[in-house]
Structure 1
Amino acid sequence: MQVHNAVVEEVFLIDSATGYLDIIYANYEQNEAISKSLRLNVDINTVILNSFGYHISLSDIEEGMLVDSLFSPIKQGLTPPQADADLIVARTYDQPPLNFIIDRIAKVDIDNSLLFTGDPNNADNQIKFNISDITTIRDKDSNPVPLRSLHPGLLVDVLVAHTNFQNAVIPNEADALHVQIL
């Protein structure tokens, strides 16, 4: 699950890497925006980035900031509702959001650390993602996995920095910050 443009109401730290964020986000139901609260539980496996794609700690997030997040299914029956955060991207209002791209894997090039999504038979309809040492890759259970565990046909959510894809290179190319298997 994911939310975008949620507002941080509270940051609670157990230490610099663990704790929780209480957020408010808009949930759209029948053309109406309804504000919902959610507690994002943060542990040492949670990837936390700033708006430039750099790793930060939970202690760097402040009340009033905006966050985008990928998280586990919401745990029912808890007040406030809670979920375990897999990825959090924090930013201030004047910083642009990072981009999330959901698509199926077309090809994995392990030797060159590349991941292609889109139509496997048409390079015009593909995006080439550069996988670097800072790229995190997680399976459906949010466990870290290597690039070699990815294969064509998997549905993934790829987080990239501010890329406009307006270049003349085919396929379009971007640096992947985080890859989440869906």
Structure 2
Amino acid sequence: MSERNSDMRGTITQAGDIMQAQNVLVEEVNTPDSRTGYILISYLVTGENNMHFTELLQLNVGWDTILTNQFNEPISLCRIIKGMRIDAWFSASMTRSIPPQSNGYRIVAFLPAPSIRTLTDRVAYTDPASGFLYTGNPNNIADQIRFVISNRTQLIDQSGNAISLDSFQPGQLVRVEYGDFQTDSIPPQTPAFLVQVLTF
């Protein structure tokens, strides 16, 4: 992946009926349900005498719009905020409004790397079919955390050897490295980056 210049607004190019915006700046996001809505972007246009101008465009986000982060993982629209950079593919058909609007096909948001937190706790239970590992009090859902285990999560035993999610047993002491964001659900949910068994 090429380096992204955070000081320059990106540009828009056209290939047939599809427009592509690269490294454009998010000016505003509006979503009623965290999945649909619109993103207002600004981008650079080169005019006469090599003068540069900033233009605005509203990308409408529907249920068919693909939303991912830079690792091609699905995200919700509410994860995209003002000041972020995105790449976008959208329709060449635009409204004549100010700013013009177009329907987004695919949007890739360049999310900041999360800060990593570390937790040492006991395994409450696992759900290998759904890819979850729960820590905390097995008898109190309000005293648990649900960790999302993906193919990017490192699962290791005491010696550092790779193991599977179904190798974890209730009551085992584990160390979990996870992101500094979590859902407001009960129990809260967050992706795990690493889970290591400390004791059997």
The structure that has the greater radius of gyration is 2
Q: Which has the higher contact order (CA 8 A, sep 6+)?
A: 1
TM-score (norm 1): 0.48
